[in-house]
Amino acid sequence: MNKLQLKRYAKLLAKVGVNVKKGQWVVVDAGLDQPEFVEWVVEELYRAGAGKVTVDWGHQSIAKLQYKYEKLETLSEVPAWTVARREAYLKELPAMLHIISEDPDGLAGIDQEKFTKARIGRMKILKPYQDAMENKYQWCIAAVPGKAWAKKVFPGLQVNRAVEALWDAILKASRADGADPIREWARHNDEIGGRCDHLNRLGLVSLEYKAKNGTDLKVGLIPEGIFAGGGENTLSGRYFNPNIPSEEIFTSPKAGEAEGIVYATKPLSYQGELIEDFSLRFASGKVVEVKAKKNQHLLEKMIGMDEGACMLGECALIAEDSPINNAGILFYNTLFDENASCHLALGRGFTNLLKGFEGMTQEEIHAKGINDSMIHVDFMIGCKDMEITGVTEKGERVAIFKDGNWAF
C-alpha cells in the first residue's frame, strides 16, 4: 500500500477525526494488526499538538481465551486501577481514538451467556463514568485491515492481496484516497449540514418506513429533537468527527413510540459473531418479537441486556447511491455497513440531539424521550425500494426517501 496515502489517512484521523487540542492527552486503542500505521497515527497526533498519547493494545484471540477460561466472577470485576483510570479520564477528558480491525467471526464459539452477564456486571460500575463524560470530549472510530477480516471480505484472494484490497476499500470509503482528505472532509461535512438544516426545518413528529421485503414501521420523534450528521461539537465547542467513514444523517427517536415490523438487509456483527436474515417487531415502542435464520439467541440476549435495550435509540438516513454502497462490498463491520444503508439502532440514544440538552440533567433528557441503555447496536434496513415518509406537526406528509434515495 502507498505509504504516503496511509500517512494522509493517519493525519486525517488526528486532525479531523479527534481534532486534538494543543497539550491534550489522547488515548488510542488498537489491535495488533497494523502497528506501523498506529505509529504513524501517534506521530500525527503529536504533530497536531497532543501533549501525551497513550496506546492501549488489544488482541481478539486473547479476549476469547479469557472468556473461555476465566470465571464469570472474574470477568465481571472492575479492578480499582480501572476505576482510577476512568476517574482520570473524567478529570482530564482525553480525546479517544478507536482503531478497529477485528475478525467478524473472531469470538465465535464463546459462552455468550457468560459474555453477556460479565458485560452487565462491568457496566453497572463503568456506565456512570461514560454518562458523565458524554459530549465533553472528542472521539473517533476508524479502521485498518486485519488479516482475518480481510479474508472474510475477500475470500478469493490470498491473505496479503486481501489486506491490500481491504486497505483500498477502507481508504475509498473514508474519503481518504485522494491528495487532500482533510479538504474533502470539509466539503463532505458542508453537504451533510445542508441536508440536516432542511430536515430540521420540517418539524417532523414521526417517520414511516416501507419496503417490499415487508418492512412497515412507524417511529415517533421528539418535538425538541434534531437531525445531525458528520462532525459535531463538544460542550466546550471543539469540532470533531466521531466516525470515519460517515454518510449518515441521524436523530434519536422518542423511546416508547415505534409500531410495526422491520427487516434487516445486511448481517449484523455482534459480540464477535454474525446475526443474519433477521427481523424485529415493535409494539408500544418495544421489540416484542425477533426472528433470525442465524444466531437468533444473540438477538434475544441483546434486547434483554437492560430495560432500554429493546427500544430504539437512533434512526439514520443514508442514500443507496452512496460511495460505500456503490462499492458493492459487504464489510461485515458495522462502521462501514451502517454507512452503506439506512439503519436503526437499539439501545442508547444521543443526548446532544435534543435542543437545550446542555441545561438538562440526565433524568430530564430521558424524560423527554431519549432512550437510555448500556448498549447501542446499529442494524441495517436500507434497500433499493425503501420509502420513508415524514409526518409534520400539522399532519402533512413529506417524502424523505424514494426508491432508496433522498427525495429532496
All three cell numbers of 247, joined, read 454518510
Do 269 and 147 sit in the same domain of this protein? no
Compute the distance between CA of residue 122 and CA of residue 373 in angstroms, rounded to an integer: 14
Which of 173, 193, 212 is where one domain is finished?
173
Do 293 and 397 sit in the same domain of this protein? yes
Do 89 and 149 sit in the same domain of this protein? yes
pLDDT tens for residues 155-207?
999 999 999 999 999 999 999 999 999 999 999 999 999 999 999 999 999 99
Number of domains in the chain: 2
Compute the distance between CA of residue 208 and CA of residue 282 in angstroms, rounded to an integer: 13
Instruction: Indicate the pLDDT class of residue 312, thresholds 50, 70 and 90.
Output: very high
**Structure confidence at residue 193 (pLDDT):** 97
pLDDT exceeds cutoff 90 at 1: no
Compute the distance between CA of residue 37 and CA of residue 209 in angstroms, rounded to an integer: 41
What's phi and psi for 385, nearest 5 deg?
Answer: -105, 15
User: Which whole number is the average pLDDT over 322-350?
Assistant: 93
User: Which whole number is the average pLDDT over 150-154?
Assistant: 97
388 in a domain, yes or no?
Answer: yes
**Structure confidence at residue 323 (pLDDT):** 86
178 in a domain, yes or no?
Answer: no
Do 37 and 151 sit in the same domain of this protein? yes
User: Which whole number is the average pLDDT over 362-385?
Assistant: 96
State the distance between the two ends of the chain, measured CA to CA, in whole angstroms: 39
pLDDT exceeds cutoff 90 at 256: yes
pLDDT tens for residues 278-302?
999 999 999 999 999 999 999 999 9
pTM: 0.90
Domain that holds residue 271: 203-406
Q: Going by C-beta distance under 8 Å and a sequence separation of 6 or more, which residues neighbour residue 225?
A: 251, 252, 253, 254, 353, 354, 355, 369
Do 139 and 220 sit in the same domain of this protein? no
Compute the distance between CA of residue 137 and CA of residue 239 in angstroms, rounded to an integer: 10
Instruction: Indicate the pLDDT class of residue 271, thresholds 50, 70 and 90.
Output: confident
pLDDT exceeds cutoff 90 at 305: yes
195 in a domain, yes or no?
Answer: no
188 in a domain, yes or no?
Answer: no
Instruction: Indicate the pLDDT class of residue 53, thresholds 50, 70 and 90.
Output: very high
Backbone CA torsion sign across 57, 61, 63, 65: negative
Rg, C-alpha atoms of the chain: 20
| Kind and range of the H or E run holding 214 | none
What's phi and psi for 379, nearest 5 deg?
Answer: -140, 145
* 12 and 181 Cβ atoms separated by less than 8 Å: yes
55 in a domain, yes or no?
Answer: yes
186 in a domain, yes or no?
Answer: no
Compute the distance between CA of residue 244 and CA of residue 10 in angstroms, rounded to an integer: 11
Residue appearing with cell numbers 482503531: 99
Do 36 and 128 sit in the same domain of this protein? yes
263 beta partners: 279
* 292 and 299 Cβ atoms separated by less than 8 Å: yes
Do 34 and 132 sit in the same domain of this protein? yes
102 in a domain, yes or no?
Answer: yes
All three cell numbers of 381, joined, read 434496513
Q: What is the mean pLDDT of the chain?
A: 96
